[in-house]
Structure 1
Amino acid sequence: MAIKSYATQAELLLRNYMHADSYALCTSIIGSICACKMVYDLSQVISAAYLKSYSRLSKLKKIEWNNRAISTFHAIFITTMSLYFVFWSDLYSDDRFAPAITLRHSKLSTFPLGVSIGYFLSDLGMIIWLYPSLGGLEYVAHHLLSMLSVIYAMVTGEGQIYTYMVLISEATTPSINLRWYLDAAGMKTSRAYLINGVVMFLAWVVARMLLFLYLFYHIWVHYDKVMQMQTFGHCLVLGVPSVLIVLNSVWFWKILMGLKKTLAKRH
């Protein structure tokens, strides 16, 4: 019975995918991968031409430098789009005459998800290629879970609001990358490094801790709508944020300890 149930769900996913605007979906993913390559190359050219600290880096550090430029670019884009859809767009407003909030989607809301999939594929490829230099198993798990949720939301159109809530957590990425850049440039003792550390801490509290609490509260309030999703869908809605908030809490503790250490040295 269980095997038959999973087979039926797989059929539904495939049918939904065939009825989707496959051209737009493929375009967003392929375009995103190409954009990642373009940003990587631009970072390499601009950094080599204008930043002396870049030329002193090892080959591996240069790769990570350029790879972080890609993640910063993606973070700015997807955070902007996620904030728009979750808080400003009327697509997910509480309108009792509209379809269930967990089932609403549009071509505009689906396109950025394809962009994120392209980025996650590119970044995961880099992580695996240079493993573990760019990140350990926790990064691989984070990317796989994120891609699974984003692909499901993009293909089926279900649970997009919760996918965008989770993607808002990318707002912490620019400050994380800037911290790495300042360290690599030998500016770990600078005022900019300290200020960025405080900003990173506050951004993490808001985007990866408090926002996740709001997400769970939203799920609880709209639980009847969540149950209207396919079984695999509401398992993702409940399971993925639960795993991610554990990872976020572990990383939050490391950030907090690092900030305390830096402030203690300053004092």
Structure 2
Amino acid sequence: MPNFSTLTLCITATSFSISQLLFHVGSTWLSKRLTCGFSKLNSKQKIEWNSRTVSTFHALVVGCFCLYILLYDDAVNADPVWGDPYMVKLNVAITSGYLISDLLLILYYWKAIGDKYFVTHHVAALYAYYYVLGEGMLPYFGNFRLLAEFSTPFVNQRWFFEVLGYHKHSVPNMVNGVLMTVVFFIVRIAVIPTYYGRVFSTFDLLHCRQ
């Protein structure tokens, strides 16, 4: 039977609430003060803008937390299957709250931001995180995949520049493009050998224990 701690459930609920608050209130309030272009967007664009703002905030929080765990959580790094998942559960709980919030927003504003692939992604991720939160299984791998979130802010920023009318050859757009390419390569491609090296070493470890 899964064992969801009160703390992780509270963090998931808090993450969900903050995500909703940022979408409905925080993003609009901040965006109006950062750029006059926000007020010129149509309603559909504003919905996607707010969604991407929340996405960027979530990515920065869980990405930094993920990196800290990978560098300093010795228990998880020593045993990627059953290592003490306490820190990882906190990070995954934050992500789960965000995913549930974003999934509901996608369904509610389907005409503006509906995407069946995002729905599939969110549901699959929540299914995987169910085992991390409820069983404490594979904490290293559950956390490692969150490194990919570091590329999300740059992807979102590219959309922000596009909808604000920045030319694709403008300096801000080009700088963001270079950073997006570099970060995307590092956190999604360059880490593949490390990730799957741990996967295969885990298979050997399980075989030896049997």
- Please report the TM-score for the alignment, with normalisation by the length of structure 1: 0.72
**2:14 alignment counterpart:** 31
2:8 counterpart of 1:16:
no
Shift of the 81–226 alpha-carbon distance from structure 1 to 2, 3 Å rule, reads farther
- Larger relative contact order (C-alpha < 8 A, sep ≥ 6)? 2
Q: Is the 8 A contact 1:219 1:226 kept in 2?
A: no
- Structure 2 matches for 1:60-75, cutoff 5 A? 60-75=44-59
What stretches of structure 2 of length at least 5 have no aligned partner? Answer: none
Identity percentage of aligned residues: 22
The one-letter code matched in structure 1 to 2:157 is L
CA distance, structure 1, for counterparts of residue 72 and residue 52 of structure 2: 29
In 2, are the aligned partners of 1:86 and 1:165 still within 8 Å (CA)?
yes
Write out per-residue CA displacement over residues 243-263 of structure 1, whole angstroms, 9 at most, x where no aligned residue: xxxxxxxxxxxxxxxxxxxxx
Pair 227,137 (structure 1): closer, same or farther in 2 beyond 3 Å: farther
Q: Does 2:172 align with 1:186? A: no
The alignment covers a number of residue pairs equal to: 207
Letter of the 1:176 counterpart? V
1:259 aligns to what? none
Give the partner amino acid of 1:37.
Answer: Q
Letter in 1 for 2:121: H
Instruction: Provide the secondary structure at the position in 1 that maps to 2:97.
Output: helix
Instruction: For structure 1, list consecutive stretches of 5 or more residues without a partner in the other structure.
Output: 1-14, 95-99, 229-267
What TM-score results when the alignment is normalised by the length of structure 2?
0.90
Is the Cα–Cα contact under 8 Å of residues 165 and 211 in structure 1 kept in the other structure? Answer: no
Task: State yes or no: 1:130 paired with 2:109.
Answer: yes
TM-superposition CA deviations, 1:92-134 (whole Å, max 9, x none): 233xxxxx43111243331221111010011112222233642
Which whole-Å deviations, capped at 9, do the CAs of 1:54-77 have from their partners, x for residues lacking one? Answer: 011001111111111111111011
2:189 & 2:44 partners in 1: Cα distance? Answer: 32
Report how far residue 137 of structure 1 moved: 2.4
Larger-gyration structure (1/2): 1
Root-mean-square deviation over aligned CA pairs: 2.1
CA distance 1:188–1:122, change in 2 (3 Å): farther
1:226 to partner: Cα distance: 5.4
CA offset digits 1:157-193 (Å, max 9, x no partner): 0101001111110111100111111111111332110
Moved over 3 A (4+): 224-228
Asked if the contact 2:85–2:139 (Cα under 8 Å) also holds between the matched residues in 1, the reply is no
